[in-house]
Structures are given as structure tokens and as C-alpha cells.
Amino acid sequence: MPGRHLKVIVTRKLPEPVEARMRELFDVELNDTDMPMGAQALGDAISRADVLVPTITDRISAGLIGAAGENLRLIANYGAGFDHIDVQTALSRGIMVSNTPGVSADDTADVAMMMILAVPRRLREGTKKMQAGEWGGWAPTAMLGSRLGGKRLGILGMGRIGQAVARRAAACGMEIHYHNRKKLHADTENALGARYWESLDQMLARMDVLSVNCPHTPGTFHLLNARRLKLMKPTAYIVNTSRGEVIDENALTRMLRAGELAGAGLDVFENGKDVNPRLTGLDNVLLLPHMSSATQEGRVEMGEKVIINIKTFADGHRPPDQVVPAML
């Protein structure tokens, strides 16, 4: 079917260059308010669209897909993660799903590395003190943090983002360790100077900093549960720029408050924007509003990938970033 006749419905406001290009190519409905669609609005959209362009804020459930109109043949997700979409149900109904992988690896790794630097060096606490006008001047024992050089960084999930984090951390003199579903090729390991741990438990017990970079799947839900978190040293730090569901947030909060972990940097949370209030007042915790991929350049590139996926589909081919069962 020609691209310009496709009914494309976008659930959130996208960068202007992306929306302008979509207007040129498709019969597109945009969300000018940038408010997340409620269940009724999503149901209406999915019943009328040939292509739905959702984001992480949209829960595309089996029930919602069951209400899709006969014309819906592609869910072109704006974002790399697709755990908010019931992909199996979509595929069973002949609806393809695509995503936008690889765009934000460096942007996300930059924020992960920033938190790896900021939390052990107590930057949040120092900034808070300055803004409150409470700094009394330099002192030999004031605001002492932890040096990164020579410390062990454990990376949970060694895909594009994990490898980008490894390169940045190695430049800061950290030892690189990782746990992954599959061991990296020896050439990649050597280039990163990374050591593979088949046992996540054994790795956790030996790390000074842990960076979470794995996707949220049924197999990774609460992968870092209370038992595993207790394996970590009380002097260790955790940074998460991946998915909040990977960590048992209640267990993490208890340990941080009890001094059983030294600190955390969190850009994602188990319950989305509903952050555990017992986390928000801790000086040893840096909280960010899911902004690790938030660069103008990255968000435009994500939109360009969405457009390529839709155009390729419209031309009768499989989208280059189609989500396939092997990825689930």
C-alpha cells in the first residue's frame, strides 16, 4: 500500500523534524498535547490505524491488540525497549512490531557514566549543600568520597549500551567485569579489557560498582532481588539506566536506608513515574527522570528509524528493525 495512504497514529508528541517528515509521507494523526493516551483513546487509535506509533508510556496489552481494527498491520514503536507491548499477541494476529535499537547507546552510556562518577563522589550531597547555603569552607575531611581508579565495575547486560559504558569506565581506570546471556567474542572482550562472569552471584559479591544495562523481560524481572542485593559489599554502588523492574526497588530502598549499600544512581523505577518516596530523601541516592536517552539528536534519530520502518513496511518489505520471537 502506498505510504501516503497509510493511516499512522502517533501517541505522543515527537520532535518537530520527525513530525514534519511524517506529515509529508503519511496520513498521520499527531498528539499535540503530549499527554499520554488513556485506555479509551488508545483503543480508538488502534481500531482506526494502519500503523500505530506508541512509546514506553503506552501499555499495548493483549486485550488492546484484540480490539485492533482489521487494517492494523504494524506497531512501529518509538524506542528500543518493547516490554510495554504484548509482542506475542501482536504476531499471532499478523501484526508486525518494530523498534529503534542502537540509537541511544552512547547517550545512555554518558548518563550511566555520569552517575558512576557522581554517586561515589557525593555530587548530589555537595550540590544540595551549596544550594542551601550551608557550605562552611574547605576542610581536610569534608565531603570525602570514593576514588574510581582501580575499582571493579560489574556490567549486567553487555549489549551496545553495556559496551559503551565499559569503554567510558575503562578510561577512568576501572576494571571491567560483566555478566551477560552470552559471552562476548574474545576480540571484543580483549578490546574492552573485560572479564566475563558466568555466575551473576559470584560477580555481584566482588564488585565495587554495578551498572544495570539489561532489558526487562520475564527472565530479568527482579533479577536483582533481595537475596542477590545482599551479596553485594556494603561499600558498593548501583547505577540503573535500563529498566526499573530489573531491581526489587523495595529491597534496594531498605538496604540503602540501612547502610547495607553505599549508594545508587537511578534513572528508571519499578513503578514508572511513581518513585518510592523512601528513596527521594536519601543523600546517597541520585534520582533522574528517565532522561538517559534524552538528547535532541538521539530523539530525532529514533524518529527517523520509525519512519524508515514504516516506509519499508509500506513498500511491501519487512521493517529493518522488526522485533522477532528470538528477541523475546
Range of the domain at 91: 3-103+295-327
Give the N- to C-terminal CA distance of the chain in Å, as an integer.
29
Q: Same domain, yes or no, for 254 and 269?
A: yes
**Tens of pLDDT along 110-155?**
999 999 999 999 999 999 999 999 999 999 999 999 999 999 999 9
- List residues bridging with 176 in a β-sheet: 153, 194
Pairwise CA distance, residues 15 & 58, whole Å: 18
Q: Are residues 162 and 132 in the same domain?
A: yes
- What global pTM score does this model have? 0.90
| Chain segment 159-183, per-residue pLDDT in tens | 999 999 999 999 999 999 999 999 9
For the segment 13-40, what is each residue's pLDDT rounded down to a tens digit?
999 999 999 999 999 999 998 889 998 9
Residue pair 177/155 in contact by the 8 Å Cβ criterion:
yes
* Same domain for 250 and 135: yes
Is 4's pLDDT higher than 90? no
Q: Are residues 189 and 70 in the same domain?
A: no
Statement to judge: residues 135 and 237 lie in one domain: yes
pLDDT at residue 203 in the model: 98
- Is 40 within 8 Å of 66 (Cβ atoms)? no
The 10s digit of each residue's pLDDT in 99-112 is 999 899 999 999 99
Same domain, residue pair 175 and 273 = yes
pLDDT tens digits, residue range 44-64? Answer: 999 999 999 999 999 999 999
Question: In terms of domains, do 211 and 304 share one?
Answer: no
Domain match, 207 and 275 both: yes
Domain match, 134 and 248 both: yes
Number of structural domains the chain divides into: 2
Answer yes or no: do 120 and 150 share one domain.
Answer: yes
Residue 223, pLDDT above cutoff 70? yes
pLDDT digits (tens, 9 = 90+) for 72-85: 999 999 999 899 99
Residue linked to cell 565531603:
143
Q: Do 99 and 164 belong together in one domain? A: no
72-76, 214-218, 284-288: the lowest-pLDDT one: 214-218
Task: Identify the bridge partners of residue 8 per DSSP, sorted by sequence position.
Answer: 28, 51
pLDDT above 60 (res 3): no
Q: Which helix (H) or strand (E) holds 301?
A: helix 296-314
Residues 42 and 29: beta-carbon distance below 8 Å? no
| Residue 207 contacts residue 191 (beta carbons within 8 Å) | no
DSSP states along 153-210 = EEEE--SHHHHHHHHHHHHTTPEEEEE-SSPPPHHHHHHHTEEE-S-HHHHHTT-SEE
The domain that contains 147 carries what CATH number?
Answer: 3.40.50.720
Same domain as 115, residue 96: no
Q: Distance (Å, rounded) from C-alpha 12 to C-alpha 34?
A: 5
- Strand, helix or coil at 247? strand
Burial 150-159 (b: 16+ CB within 10 A, else e): ebbbbbbbbb
Shortest CA distance to 64 belongs to which of 49, 258, 78, 79? 49
Instruction: Take residue 309 and report the three cell numbers written for it.
Output: 520502518
| List of residues 6+ apart from 73 with CB closer than 8 A | 50, 51, 94, 95, 96, 313
C-alpha cell at 91: 504476531
